[in-house]
Structure 1
Amino acid sequence: MAKGGTLGFDLPKVRNIGVIAHIDAGKTTTTEHLLYYAGAKHKLGGVDEGTTETDYDPEEQQRGITIYSACVPFEWAGHTVNLIDTPGHVDFTAEVERSLRVLDGAIVVFDGQKGVEAQSETVWRQANKYGVPRLVFVNKMDVVGANFAQTLESVRGRLAPDPVAHGKAVPIVIPIGSGGPADSRTPFRGVIDLIDMKARFFDAGDYGKTVRTADIPEENLAEARSYREKLFDELTQHDDKDLITSAVLEGQDPDPLKVRQLVREQCLARLIYPVLSGSGREHIGIQPLLDAVTYYLPSPLDRPPVSGINPKGSKKEEKRKPDSKEPFAGLVFKAAWHPNGHRFFVRVYSGVMRTNMRALNPRRDTKENVAKLYHVHADPNRGLEEVESGPAGDIVCVIGLKDTATGDTLCDTQHPILLEAISFADAVVSQSIEPESGGDKDKLGLALEALQLEDPTFIVKADKDTGQTLMSGMGTLHLEVKKHRLERDFRVKVRVGKPRVSFREMMRSPRQVVANIERLGDKPAMAMLKVSFTNFRSEKPVAVFNVVNSDENPTPVAFLAAAERALTDALQTGELGYPMMHAQARILDAKFDPQLSTEDAFVAAAIHAYRDATRDNIQLLEPIMKVVVTTPSIFLGNVIGDLAKRRGEIDGQEMSPNGELAEVTGRVPLSELFTYANEVRSLSQGRAAAAIEPHSYQPAPDSVLRQLLGE
């Protein structure tokens, strides 16, 4: 859009969508074709060549995977589509999480040969968490062994086993054939639209841009009629307005417009997930997918109003509708480092975000100047398009905010609202990091600070025992990418230590302690705290409460606040240097002396209480990972035996319909998995693959604790 073009923003024709999938299912190739056919780019890029639009980062181009979600706007059939391509690798799951938080709809891509894979389940659960309507695209129908019916059944069986609770995957576009010319008597060559009962063929000479509509080939007609009958059976179960039911019962062909209306209504209600098929690599089936985005996925108006609390005074829940007349409210869902100023991506939920406005950040209670707004393409080094405003439903980029980070709310200063922040998984792997040159210490500190601003799952802190700087993340690949970015983008040469596990701590049993402080150094002092320490389950890692009853001589609020802060810090640091999990401290009683008591005395009392409560009372917890290994069945014994050696517990096994492949699911301590991705390949002549994701924290064996303590 040109500068100021957002003033003509047609909200019902806006689609904020994401492309999500398991790694290597073909998300980025599919995205390339969406952009190419929509005219947003003039040449198709290739993942293998490192020339795709959304994989702009050199690290992505080198590895052939997507790491950073990229927002790309384009036009299709009179609609504005803001499309975000997201990673499939579990180490970058935060990118998927923050994208789904602000998107209205999604395309879930599956490999037509492999069906549902481990990370497919993760992203599907994330979409469920945010109530995101979605389309299913069965990709790679041209590869050897591709099977549309089997993939459909795996989606139904593993992702939506209960249609009442989870909705049902329902085909609307089916493939003509499968596999390539060399391996199939009926190779994949086109698709059938079950709604208008027409075949679509795509001209390979212009990369599928030319689409030919034809009658369904005779040999595919019976299959198409069978799928269509099942589609109508599903749709008529919830056809309350009788859009097509009467026509179907009378044996008539229902109006395609009414069928699409019904598909849309049921997709938005998540009663169904429309299923399409194609091949990005062979340029087949992408235009029907684009049409389906405009037909069936929601506009911002189709989504519920966003909820938040009023941070001033009442703390009551408030809602904001996707209406430009409402007060402005937006969520910063991504921050990106740039040498000319950090870039912040904002989903505007209500009102209008304008240039030169002052916006409130209620979490920090600060005001930000919004100097300029942009629409931005995938590559942050180009494609900035200045706009005067971002209305409700839009995604815009702001440069140079001072006190804002990922997950923060920006809102109207006169109508404050604090939107629910994005929640992220805990980091599970740490490495020490230091500059190769002592003179680069400050430069490294600033660079690490910038990377933390971008990525909430990347944590940097000092080890209190060794003084080393530790960086923590979601996996070894995650940290490896950060190291390369430090060296490439920030020009800081660094040394890193071996990966190590990020443990957690938990108290073995509850304790109630009384701490008395009578001296601070060589000076008399006075502070008394009675504190109860217990374990509890909560979204927050630790909680500290002051429940001191008022009496004739109430303890000053400042003293109690100092004690609360000290207890919070202590619980977050832990006795062994790892954060406490599920720890709760309650200040039950306090006493002070007007002459001898100070905030420092109450801090000392809080620390004393914490040490008494945790002495010989700490349970070390280690991160347990869910491991899913797909292997040729002849190597199944090798894989299971190896997992057992790694202290793994097997949860289940599944065989493919032809018995050639096996999938093993288990739980294994992270400390046993640092080199597993390579080692599982050596167990299977390079043919097995593993997907690993965080599962839980469980008590570590005493041997692990003794090793940590150097015993």
Structure 2
Amino acid sequence: MRTLNLGILAHVDAGKTSLTERLLFAAGVIDEVGSVDDGSTRTDTLALERRRGITIKSAVVSFEVDDVTVNLIDTPGHPDFIAEVERVLSVLDGAVLVISAVEGVQAQTRVLMRTLRRLRIPVLIFVNKTDRRGARCDEVLRSVRGKLAPTAFPMGRVEQSGTRGARSVPFTAADPDFVAGLAGLLAEHDDALLADYVADESAVSYGRVRAELAAQTARGQVHPVFFGSAITGAGVAALAAGLTELLPAAAGDAHGPVSGRVFKIERGPTGERTAYVRLFSGTVRTRDRLPFGPDSAVGSEKGHRDNGADGADGPDGAGSAGEAKVTGISVFERGAAVPAASVSAGRIALLKGLADIRIGDTVGDPGAAPPDGRHFSPPTLETVVVPTRAADRGTLHGALAQLAEQDPLINLRLDGVRQEISVSLYGEVQKEVVQATLADEFGVDVTFRETTTICVERVVGSGEAVEFNKKDANPFLATVGLRVEPAPPGSGVAFRLGVELGSMPYSFFKAVEETVRETLRQGVHGWEVIDCVVTMTHSGYSPRQSHAHAVFDKSMSSTSGDFRDLTPLVLMDALRGAGTRVHEPMHVFRLDVPADTFGALLAVLSRLRAVPRAPEPQGDSYVLEGVVPAARVHELEQSLPTLTHGEGVLESAFDHYEPVVGAVPERPRTDLDPLNRKDYLLQVRRRVSAGQEEA
């Protein structure tokens, strides 16, 4: 059978989990449709998900349609859990974007569709809740075309919209307007079809039009739109048929080199890690030894783990490749994971035995997997997590380390000076979920300090610094020279070599690159330095030396430790020379408010340093768009109900960074401070001495 790895995505409350239930029911996987409100759905398995009625973690279920096995991944809809969606994107063959016929296109809908189109992931759109009072099917379709995809095309019409009897009627070859409209749309992307269509519309067969629709949908050029109701089942059969006809099945050579990507990690009752892996190539069998890890090399823009909080990657948080034996394999069949002896290309599998594997790792040959990367904005908030009982401090660290395995973007930040742990967040709802998870699963009660905004530093100019081996005040047996320059926004951190790769051992270059990336997490003002190019301009070392009786003498020979200890001093000198500017995150917002509250709202927006654009009147209300500092979004949310008599609607999403206005915010450092050379060298000596005593 063919396999289709399908994502269900939506703005929160659009009904995607209910649609998942209906698809499983229609395929005969479940005997009764579960309810989100009752907490009885197949994919919302966490107790917290059932209590809150929202999806927090992505979940995989499967069903069969004709000769296709569909692995369906239900993703969170709330923007606070966008990291779960991000990890799923790299393993999808296609997606269904669910939109409410009542609420229409919302902020998260636009973010998701923009990303799906950029990645050229084939998308079917399902307009849900056509049976609900207030359903606006025609208006929503116009909004989809105007805000999401101009090539969206309806595959049917809705009768008795807004009533319990609403039903979806699929268009067929007997609908001339449908055939002509679809052929005209497809001809815009196919010259041969256009020529035949212009010559004689009637000569273009319906079969050819449907085949071309499937081809262009697979290329992400057009987006079929289905209408229906997950609650009543209306339109779901047409959508299910569209999955197999219009979305491409998984590709991959089962006999090729093994290559896959981890998009989710779970821990069993005994603490054993289970990795959810999409296999792009090859076949994995039980007891196979699999290499895994990040795709890393000197000179690349990758090469470090997102989070080294559990200490598995050493003191600098840098990741490394590993290898382990697969002790168990499960694949998804008819709604559940079942044990299997092997798994081949195109499938999603649960692999056990890979103890140190992490989310985002590749298994097997990384070159055979499609490129992965960050698709959504990073978290813009952080808070310090404080255990209610001081005795739980150690347990809290272990619990948060496990949560970081499942969500690396919470980015644990350990402050060794103040003995505090902070986490990165997308919003206040995520904070509540972290608090409840720590209490329910780990028995640790916590509180949080005030949520603060995560700023970044950008390099302003060019700066260089160098320290030579055995010269001046350099106490380390290493020569390191670095030049720092700004790079375009969104380009990330690039490490380049301006010296010959063979001028010293590879491990020393590796130590410098890893330490550069680690050091840039705390710049001149304590914030992460982004979008820059670091070039190594000088290198040198003391070759391995021994006494006459062949005993290695560290005091005369360079080690990787010399380069790791010297690099922060050189890099921070170069950064100070280049100069950095602190930038704060900015959100775009859209407000729909009653006209009589508009004046009072403008005054509040001014106080919050928001920059609105010209308002757009819509009946007895105004629609206002603009930008606002991320630090003020929560305050705007809290004040909106009072300002607008409970009728205002706010949508916001991260958009870009802007230079901070006014006093520059400083972030306390959490480790050795290379900006203070005397104290830094003193702390390094103490650390080295302590290590020698333990040895």
TM-score of the pair, normalised by structure 2 = 0.82
Following superposition of structure 1 onto structure 2, how do residues 587-666 of structure 1 map, counting pairs within 5 Å? 587-590=536-539, 598=558, 605-615=566-576, 617-651=579-613, 653-654=615-616, 659-660=619-620, 662-666=622-626
1:605 CA displacement: 4.8
In structure 1, which of residues 582, 592, 604 is the aligned counterpart of residue 531 of structure 2?
582
Whether the aligned pair in 1 keeps the contact of 2:615 and 2:625 (CA below 8 Å) is: yes
- What is the CA deviation profile of residues 459-493 of structure 1, one whole-angstrom value per residue up to 9, with x for unaligned ones? 10113653311111222222321221111112222
Provide the alpha-carbon RMSD of the alignment.
3.4
1:338 CA displacement: 3.3
The secondary structure found in structure 2 opposite 1:156 is: helix
1:451 CA displacement: 0.9
- The separation in 2 between residues aligned to 1:632 and 1:142, in whole angstroms, is 27
Question: 2:521 matched to 1:569?
Answer: no
1:300 CA displacement: 1.3
Following superposition of structure 1 onto structure 2, how do residues 139-178 of structure 1 map, counting pairs within 5 Å? 139-161=128-150, 168-178=151-161
1:330 is matched with 260
- The separation in 1 between residues aligned to 2:48 and 2:188, in whole angstroms, is 48
Letter in 2 for 1:498: E
2:551 is matched with none
2:212 is matched with 262
- What is the CA deviation profile of residues 308-329 of structure 1, one whole-angstrom value per residue up to 9, with x for unaligned ones? xxxxxxxxxxxxxx12122221
In structure 1, which of residues 285, 298, 318 is the aligned counterpart of residue 235 of structure 2?
285
Which deviates more from structure 2 when the two are superposed, residues 369-378 or residues 430-439?
Answer: 369-378
Letter in 2 for 1:130: L
Whether the aligned pair in 2 keeps the contact of 1:517 and 1:601 (CA below 8 Å) is: no
1:532 is matched with 483
Whether the aligned pair in 1 keeps the contact of 2:63 and 2:333 (CA below 8 Å) is: no
Letter in 1 for 2:361: D
Which deviates more from structure 2 when the two are superposed, residues 569-578 or residues 592-601?
Answer: 592-601
1:267 CA displacement: 1.6
CA distance change for structure 1 residues 439 and 416 in 2, over 3 Å: closer, same or farther?
same
1:240 CA displacement: 6.8
Question: 2:202 matched to 1:230?
Answer: no
1:269 CA displacement: 2.8
Letter in 1 for 2:632: E
Letter in 2 for 1:31: T
- What is the CA deviation profile of residues 594-616 of structure 1, one whole-angstrom value per residue up to 9, with x for unaligned ones? 88785566556544434434449
- The separation in 1 between residues aligned to 2:478 and 2:617, in whole angstroms, is 65
- The separation in 1 between residues aligned to 2:142 and 2:20, in whole angstroms, is 25
Question: 2:340 matched to 1:406?
Answer: no
> Number of paired residues?
629
- The separation in 2 between residues aligned to 1:37 and 1:423, in whole angstroms, is 35
- What is the CA deviation profile of residues 256-278 of structure 1, one whole-angstrom value per residue up to 9, with x for unaligned ones? x5543332123223332111111
- The separation in 2 between residues aligned to 1:587 and 1:344, in whole angstroms, is 37
1:191 is matched with 168
Letter in 2 for 1:623: P
Whether the aligned pair in 1 keeps the contact of 2:381 and 2:452 (CA below 8 Å) is: yes
Letter in 1 for 2:185: E
Whether the aligned pair in 2 keeps the contact of 1:549 and 1:589 (CA below 8 Å) is: no
Following superposition of structure 1 onto structure 2, how do residues 37-186 of structure 1 map, counting pairs within 5 Å? 37-161=26-150, 168-180=151-163
Could you list the runs of 5+ residues in structure 1 that have no partner in the other structure?
1-9, 162-167, 182-187, 198-223, 302-321
- The separation in 1 between residues aligned to 2:127 and 2:485, in whole angstroms, is 49
1:175 CA displacement: 0.6
1:170 CA displacement: 1.2
2:401 is matched with 449
The secondary structure found in structure 1 opposite 2:90 is: helix
1:421 is matched with 372
- What is the CA deviation profile of residues 184-221 of structure 1, one whole-angstrom value per residue up to 9, with x for unaligned ones? xxxx5322221155xxxxxxxxxxxxxxxxxxxxxxxx
Whether the aligned pair in 2 keeps the contact of 1:71 and 1:377 (CA below 8 Å) is: no
- The separation in 1 between residues aligned to 2:264 and 2:225, in whole angstroms, is 30
Letter in 1 for 2:581: Q
Which deviates more from structure 2 when the two are superposed, residues 530-539 or residues 286-295?
Answer: 530-539
Letter in 2 for 1:266: Q
Whether the aligned pair in 2 keeps the contact of 1:529 and 1:606 (CA below 8 Å) is: yes
- The separation in 2 between residues aligned to 1:15 and 1:336, in whole angstroms, is 23
Letter in 2 for 1:372: G
Whether the aligned pair in 1 keeps the contact of 2:273 and 2:355 (CA below 8 Å) is: no
Following superposition of structure 1 onto structure 2, how do residues 284-683 of structure 1 map, counting pairs within 5 Å? 284-301=234-251, 322-340=252-270, 341-363=272-294, 364-376=320-332, 383-411=336-364, 417=368, 420-423=371-374, 425-463=377-415, 466-515=418-467, 529-537=480-488, 541-548=492-499, 562-590=511-539, 598=558, 605-615=566-576, 617-651=579-613, 653-654=615-616, 659-660=619-620, 662-683=622-643
1:665 CA displacement: 2.5
- The separation in 2 between residues aligned to 1:20 and 1:550, in whole angstroms, is 46
CA distance change for structure 1 residues 47 and 350 in 2, over 3 Å: closer, same or farther?
same
CA distance change for structure 1 residues 113 and 470 in 2, over 3 Å: closer, same or farther?
same
CA distance change for structure 1 residues 596 and 326 in 2, over 3 Å: closer, same or farther?
closer
The secondary structure found in structure 2 opposite 1:674 is: helix
The secondary structure found in structure 2 opposite 1:477 is: helix
- The separation in 2 between residues aligned to 1:333 and 1:510, in whole angstroms, is 38
1:634 CA displacement: 4.3
1:403 CA displacement: 1.8
1:119 CA displacement: 0.9
1:525 CA displacement: 6.4
- The separation in 1 between residues aligned to 2:204 and 2:465, in whole angstroms, is 77
1:207 is matched with none
2:649 is matched with 689
CA distance change for structure 1 residues 705 and 245 in 2, over 3 Å: closer, same or farther?
same
- What is the CA deviation profile of residues 334-363 of structure 1, one whole-angstrom value per residue up to 9, with x for unaligned ones? 112332422211111112222222111153
The secondary structure found in structure 2 opposite 1:573 is: coil
- The separation in 1 between residues aligned to 2:491 and 2:436, in whole angstroms, is 32
Letter in 1 for 2:88: S
Whether the aligned pair in 1 keeps the contact of 2:99 and 2:105 (CA below 8 Å) is: yes
- The separation in 2 between residues aligned to 1:558 and 1:676, in whole angstroms, is 51
CA distance change for structure 1 residues 378 and 691 in 2, over 3 Å: closer, same or farther?
farther
Whether the aligned pair in 2 keeps the contact of 1:535 and 1:583 (CA below 8 Å) is: yes
Letter in 2 for 1:366: G
- The separation in 1 between residues aligned to 2:193 and 2:470, in whole angstroms, is 80
2:674 is matched with none
CA distance change for structure 1 residues 708 and 632 in 2, over 3 Å: closer, same or farther?
farther
1:662 CA displacement: 4.2
The secondary structure found in structure 2 opposite 1:279 is: coil
Whether the aligned pair in 1 keeps the contact of 2:196 and 2:204 (CA below 8 Å) is: no
The secondary structure found in structure 1 opposite 2:25 is: helix
Whether the aligned pair in 2 keeps the contact of 1:510 and 1:532 (CA below 8 Å) is: yes
Question: 2:21 matched to 1:32?
Answer: yes
CA distance change for structure 1 residues 606 and 175 in 2, over 3 Å: closer, same or farther?
same
CA distance change for structure 1 residues 592 and 247 in 2, over 3 Å: closer, same or farther?
closer
- The separation in 2 between residues aligned to 1:342 and 1:630, in whole angstroms, is 46
Whether the aligned pair in 2 keeps the contact of 1:170 and 1:275 (CA below 8 Å) is: yes
- The separation in 2 between residues aligned to 1:86 and 1:354, in whole angstroms, is 28
- The separation in 2 between residues aligned to 1:418 and 1:16, in whole angstroms, is 15
Whether the aligned pair in 2 keeps the contact of 1:529 and 1:589 (CA below 8 Å) is: yes
The secondary structure found in structure 2 opposite 1:705 is: coil
Whether the aligned pair in 1 keeps the contact of 2:594 and 2:622 (CA below 8 Å) is: yes
Q: Percent identical across equivalent pairs?
A: 29
Could you list the runs of 5+ residues in structure 2 that have no partner in the other structure?
295-319, 544-554, 670-695
Whether the aligned pair in 1 keeps the contact of 2:63 and 2:334 (CA below 8 Å) is: no
- What is the CA deviation profile of residues 370-399 of structure 1, one whole-angstrom value per residue up to 9, with x for unaligned ones? 1111135899xxx44112222211111123
- The separation in 2 between residues aligned to 1:293 and 1:550, in whole angstroms, is 50
Letter in 1 for 2:257: P
CA distance change for structure 1 residues 526 and 237 in 2, over 3 Å: closer, same or farther?
closer
Which deviates more from structure 2 when the two are superposed, residues 370-379 or residues 448-457?
Answer: 370-379
Whether the aligned pair in 1 keeps the contact of 2:22 and 2:230 (CA below 8 Å) is: yes
- The separation in 1 between residues aligned to 2:426 and 2:524, in whole angstroms, is 23
1:106 CA displacement: 1.1
Whether the aligned pair in 1 keeps the contact of 2:135 and 2:162 (CA below 8 Å) is: yes
1:704 CA displacement: 4.8
